[in-house]
Amino acid sequence: MAADTALPEHVDTPAPPVHHPLDPLSGAEIERAAAIVRASAYGTQTLRFVMISLAEPAKPADLVFNSAPAPPREAFVVAYDSSRKLVQEGVVDLDAGAVVSWTAVPGRFPSFLMEQLAGVEQVVIADPRWQEAMRRRGVTDFALTMVDPWPTGWYGAQDHHDNSPLLCRPLTFVRAEPGEHGYARPVEGVIVTFDLDAMAVVDVEDHGVVPLPRYAGNYEERFLFAEGNRPAFRDFRDDVKPIEITQPEGPSFTVDGHQVTWQKWSLRVGFNPREGLVLHQLGYLDRGVQRPVMYRAALSEMVVPYGDTAPTHWNKNVFDMGEIGMGLSANPLTLGCDCLGEIFYFDGVVNDSQGNAITIPNAVCMHEEDYGIAWKHTDFRTGIAEVRRSRRLVISFIATVGNYEYGFFWYLYVDGSIEYEVKLTGVLTTGAIPQGERPRHGNLVAPGLYGPHHQHHFNVRMDMCVDGPSNSVLEVDSIPEPDPALNPHSNAWITRETLVRSESEGARDWEFSTARYWKVVNPSKVNELGSPVGYKLMPRDVVPSMLQEGSTIYDRARFVQHNLWVTRYDPRELYAAGDYPYQCPDAQGLPEYVADDAPLEDTDVVLWYTVGAHHVVRPEDWPVMPCAYIGFMLKPVGFFDGNPALDLPPSAARCHCAPGACGCAGHDHGVPAAPHAALG
């Protein structure tokens, strides 16, 4: 990357107040950053702002910002000059009103710009070649078509050279009437190549006519019971009784700006256009001591490769975060629908291509949930039962990326555990197939309509700081006792720990046969039993990648080739597939990060964990998908000297049963129980 040499320009306008160095940029700060750039030597008529976000200050040695003076408030600007076909990065000092640095990034392409997305459909529909392809399919009312601007992926060398335009490859769908579910009628075989720099259609490929599927797939209330819809339910269920979640004394969490405290947890909630939700400075108060666990955690990338060879589908390989932006795609959430209970919302603030701030109201939802029992035991001799109820703090946001919805959820538990979960819903990407035929690389969901096989891979970056910044990572396998003399009954087994010593060893894979997990420990901190304190990463929903060497997506998505990557902390390394995956074939990101083989023992380590959804489509996924759930957990292992949820207070038993259905009395502790017939 080459840095420009012009001197910084100054904009003398008042800087907005700053509450904490890690607070996300406000709308005023975003617009101030854009104004500073426009007024500088770097501002041109063709410069567009891709993303403007907080330039996070350097991580303090003690992980907290207590010392004065406060670090400068800076914005990180990604811009694109379409006339020069050039991505540029800048750091803007919002306090001084100056551009601190401005760097050209040749050979890279930006993620989508909002103004481009809004205009693609209109230009495509006006193109005579596209119109002729529609007429060949009997479509003459172009107002009923919808054109989705898919990222181009990478077809070959023609898509990436010194003067390549920024491309997308839109796909077309046809509604039967305005507002109807358009994905029920995909236009098979028509692929548009679109120049986003010139906002013009480059080419229209037509691989042959496939009849449009006959049936609607409507799910909206206004269409659901219409004649001809499939399935045509008679009415909504009439046996769904209200569930009301109330907290008469209010929620147990407190919020001060972006600082959250709940039970013994504390953290900061951040948000930016690329990653969406970011958690900072996650720690747990243990016997009066604030103990850090993670310094920063966020989705780092995701990719959705499709496994169908049809012309309209084989090139679908979207990096929804790096090519589009999860924060830019965030939904404004609705009480009682997206979130239920005593809710606190954080707005998300992003930018348009002119540098104007856009507020997404209620972009992040936070609330408490009851989570069943935390722990319980009944003494069968005395009949005394002790039980405590668990609950969790939920911090989430939902992004709509074209046809799919992705819900990203962090859960904090009363026993010190952390869970990350992705909920996948929305609408399948569909293909048309002649009546009577069955797809080889997908499954039918309706007559003449199928969903291609595909996968979703999500990589989460976790900057660990378990009881401090110096950590090590151990791979833990459970194996039969290897010494026959110590295993006379063939029932004994041990755990074997393997230290991940350097980044060349940092790409790790899960192993079912050994119940493998990974443990992050602090070698300089031991518990009362003499073991290093730690947290373990517990895999869940592990799926093998179907990406094959030789495919156009293989190198671009190298992060999916291993379940876990471990790297040494580098503030410049944030994204598993690199900073600019759009239209680039290179193996960016994690393969580059580990190339220097940095040591990983007793140092500042980062975990990159990939979870996957293996989607072999079902009829039940149509016309809108029930939620699928994938994720992983982080659990304390030797971090505490005992059960950290032991201090949960008893709760009064309450009963809201139908008459005669149950009998409740007393409290959830000290209640005699029926004697047990046997030990278990």
For the stretch 508-544, pLDDT in tens is 999 999 999 999 999 999 999 999 999 999 999 899 9
Mean pLDDT value across the chain: 91
Query: Residue 665 pLDDT more than 50?
Result: no
**Three-class SS state of 148:** strand
> What average pLDDT score do residues 408-427 get?
98
Transcribe 294-355 into DSSP letters: EEEEEEEEEEEEB---STTTTT-EE-IIIII-TTTTBPPP-BTTTB-SS-EEEEEEEE-TTS
114-224 adopts what CATH topology? Nuclear Transport Factor 2; Chain: A, (3.10.450)
Query: Residue 6 pLDDT more than 70?
Result: no
Is 62 a known active-site residue? no
Task: Please report which confidence band the pLDDT of residue 485 belongs to, taking 50, 70 and 90 as the band edges.
Answer: very high
> What average pLDDT score do residues 112-136 get?
92
End-to-end CA distance of the chain: 65
Task: Please report which confidence band the pLDDT of residue 229 belongs to, taking 50, 70 and 90 as the band edges.
Answer: low
Is 404 a known active-site residue? yes
Cα distances (angstroms) measured from residue 35 to each of 9, 84, 115, 346, 359: 11, 21, 19, 25, 18
User: Which are the contacts of 278, defined by CB distance < 8 A and separation ≥ 6?
Assistant: 24, 269, 270, 271, 272, 296, 297, 298
pLDDT at residue 673 in the model: 45
Q: Which of 23, 93, 159, 320 is catalytic?
A: 320
The answer to whether the CB of 414 falls within 8 A of the CB of 263 is yes
Confirm whether 2-105 and 114-224 share one CATH topology: yes
Of the candidates 458, 456, 409, the one whose C-alpha atom is nearest the C-alpha of residue 616 is 456
User: Which are the contacts of 161, defined by CB distance < 8 A and separation ≥ 6?
Assistant: none
Query: Residue 667 pLDDT more than 50?
Result: no
Cα distances (angstroms) measured from residue 426 to each of 133, 180, 399, 614, 624: 28, 15, 10, 16, 6
> What average pLDDT score do residues 567-571 get?
98
Give the pLDDT confidence of 613-623 residue by residue, as tens digits.
999 999 999 99
- Side-chain half-sphere CA neighbours of 230 within 13 A: 13
Most distant pair of Cα atoms in the chain: their distance:
84
pLDDT at residue 230 in the model: 64
Query: Residue 669 pLDDT more than 60?
Result: no
pLDDT at residue 573 in the model: 98
pLDDT at residue 496 in the model: 98
- C-alpha 264/C-alpha 254 separation (Å) is 11
Give the pLDDT confidence of 430-470 residue by residue, as tens digits.
999 999 999 999 999 999 999 999 999 999 999 999 999 99
CA geometry: angle 604, 461, 330, nearest 5 deg = 145
Q: What's the CATH architecture for 258-472+503-636?
A: Distorted Sandwich (2.70)
CA torsion 370-371-375-376 (nearest 10°) is: 80
Q: What is the residue type of 125?
A: I
Cα distances (angstroms) measured from residue 294 to each of 427, 538, 562, 606: 34, 16, 22, 9
Residue linked to tokens 């039940």: 620
Task: Please report which confidence band the pLDDT of residue 663 belongs to, taking 50, 70 and 90 as the band edges.
Answer: very low
Q: What is the residue type of 320?
A: D
266: left (phi over 0), alpha (psi -120 to 50) or beta: beta
Cα distances (angstroms) measured from residue 422 to each of 77, 191, 252, 406, 574: 29, 31, 25, 7, 20
pLDDT at residue 676 in the model: 39
pLDDT at residue 668 in the model: 47
pLDDT at residue 162 in the model: 66
Strands 190-195 and 317-318: unpaired
Question: Which H helix or E strand runs over 113?
Answer: none
Of the candidates 531, 420, 413, the one whose C-alpha atom is nearest the C-alpha of residue 467 is 531
- Partners of 323 in the β-ladder: none
Burial of 52 (0-12, 13-18, 19+ CB in 10 A): buried
Q: How far is CA 486 from the centre of its chain?
A: 46
Starting at the edge strand that comes first in sequence, how are the strands of the sheet with 47-54 ordered?
Answer: 2-3, 98-105, 86-93, 74-81, 47-54
CB burial readout 587-598, b (16+ within 10 A) else e: bbbbbebbeeeb
Residue linked to tokens 């069943």: 372
Give the pLDDT confidence of 311-336 residue by residue, as tens digits.
999 988 999 999 999 999 999 998 88
**Number of helices and strands in the chain (H, E):** 5, 34
Burial of 304 (0-12, 13-18, 19+ CB in 10 A): buried
Task: Please report which confidence band the pLDDT of residue 674 belongs to, taking 50, 70 and 90 as the band edges.
Answer: very low
Report the range of poorest mean pLDDT among 27-36, 363-372, 547-556, 669-678: 669-678
Strands 344-351 and 449-452: unpaired
Task: Please report which confidence band the pLDDT of residue 116 belongs to, taking 50, 70 and 90 as the band edges.
Answer: confident
Percent above pLDDT 90 for the chain:
79
Query: Residue 658 pLDDT more than 60?
Result: no
Give the pLDDT confidence of 233-276 residue by residue, as tens digits.
667 888 999 888 899 999 999 999 999 999 999 999 999 999 99
8-state DSSP, 72: P
Q: What's the CATH architecture for 2-105?
A: Roll (3.10)
> What average pLDDT score do residues 24-50 get?
97
**Domain range annotation of the chain:** 2-105, 114-224, 258-472+503-636
Task: Please report which confidence band the pLDDT of residue 115 belongs to, taking 50, 70 and 90 as the band edges.
Answer: confident
Q: Which of 295, 306, 404, 406 is catalytic?
A: 404
